[in-house]
A and B are shown apart, each in its own frame.
Chain A
Amino acid sequence: MSETSSTKKTVLYNLHVELGAKMVPFAGYDMPVQYPEGILNEHLHTRESAGLFDVSHMGQLVIAGDNPAAAIETLIPGDIQALGSGEMRYSFLTNEQGGILDDLIVTQRTEDLFVVVNAACKAQDIALLTDGLAGKAQVTELTNRALVALQGPKAAAVLARFAPEVATMSFMTYREVDIDGVPCFVTRSGYTGEDGFEISIPNNNAEALCRKLLGDSDVKPIGLGARDSLRLEAGLCLYGHDLTEKTTPISAGLIWAISKRRREEGGFPGADVIQAEISNKPAMKRVGILPEGRAPAREHTVITDEAGNAIGEITSGGFSPSLGIPIAMGYVPLDFSAIGTKINLLVRGKSRPAVVAKMPFVEQRYYRG
């Protein structure tokens, strides 16, 4: 229905359609928002068993050069030089104002870096990295590989049936593994709050391998709808919503992703702004929000103090299938960021009470060995 000639397809498109997915345009790709089971069941299945997500729309890059870790540190505040081979880290590209241009995952491999970036920012990121690293490192997009995520408490047992060596991988590590004879890049990571893996597969083998994984009775295909509700429950940021060029890592509560050395040394775009915010505290802070009652408060909902003065905005909001209540996150002034602070939300013109709450809303269950 919404398909146009300009939307791209991942190599798993035909499989999605065959599985009965509802396809929607997302970041220039035709992506499955849900399968016939529906978002609620897909979400709960991932929390209880294992879900398979197509994230091939995301950008997979290799950055190679004499010292790519040192080179990329000129563009991101992540401590990439501290990574041993096979270790990975969450970081972000920053601008001169300390705002976030994209969030990304950087893996130190034996010879080079393997980087995964958001689909919507892919072209911009590749241009920025290519220009910014010119003369120091080369950026190559791996357009010949698909990317899927296998997430949930049974993900490890399922994947280990095909490749036993993945069972002992720790959270945020990388390994090159043959899965059913196919050479894959496997990371123990994901964006659902669950244990799980992201698997980079040669395009030609992707559909067959996904069919094998889906052949396991514990695995169901999961669409972007549940991916969004899962990451919101896990308190994880969605770029373009919770993180933008206007939000700094400090106001977003991502200071944990900047090591002591990088905080002190700086050397990345906007370091002065970010260092000042670390010392002086940011004006606004990202917080979890629990609306009272059952009405979800969506993105752009105005947050007010109890007197009705606008103080901020919700950046992600919806319904938590695991908890059966609405949940949200948004930005409020520092004075309103303490857990338990009473606020109001303007939902369709009506002021509704809510409270600042601890995140994640649902406990993260990463495998740390």
Chain B
Amino acid sequence: MSYKFTEDHEWVLLEGDVATIGISDYAQGQLGDVVYVEVPTVGDEIAKGDELAVVESVKAASEVYSPVSGEIIDVNTELEGAPTMVNEDAMEGGWFAKIRVTNSADLDDLMDEATYKTFVEGLDE
């Protein structure tokens, strides 16, 4: 069990068939102070690549795309009152949604932590 990352800076943590989704620490740093997060509705089906959440910083709204297909089984309701959790604890407390994945192969083409770290370092050049 380890974090996987997309090129759009979402992270996925798969436990059994449940994937927890958030955005990386790099992404929260780029967005700046998060003031609102729109999370999906529990029970909805979502396809890989669909909009999963919207993160609003002071200056702009940014879409978060689902790296996996499946059913939304839980969302982080604490973000409603404490959106800055995304800045303060992006990799844990700032999670957006849990998805029961229909095809764990969705994760196959994602980056592991070391590869993502190299990917991000390349972006800062």
Q: Which of A's residues lie within 8 Å of B, judged by CB?
A: 1, 33-34, 38-41, 43, 225-226, 228-229, 294-296, 298, 318-319, 321, 326, 348
Contacts and interface: CB of A to CB of B under 8 A. Distances in A.
Interface residues of B, number: 16
Nearest to B33: A40
Contacts, number: 48
Given A295-B38, A296-B61, A348-B38, A38 B33 contact: yes
A362 B46 CA distance: 41
B38 A296 contact: no
Contacts of A348: 38, 54
Q: Is the interface of A mostly helix, strand, loop or mixed?
A: mixed
Contacts of B61: 296, 298
A294 B80 contact: yes
B25 interface: no
Contact of A34 (B32, B83, B123): B32
A40 B86 CA distance: 15
B56 A295 contact: yes
B36 interface: yes
A295 B53 CA distance: 12
Given A225-B59, A294-B36, A326-B35, 9 more contacts: A38-B32, A40-B32, A40-B35, A40-B58, A295-B38, A295-B56, A319-B35, A319-B36, A319-B56
B59 A39 contact: yes
A33 B58 CA distance: 12
Contacts of B58: 39-40, 43, 225-226, 229, 318-319, 321
A335 B105 CA distance: 56
Interface in B53-104: 54, 56-61, 80, 83
A258 to B, nearest CB: 33
Contacts of A43: 58
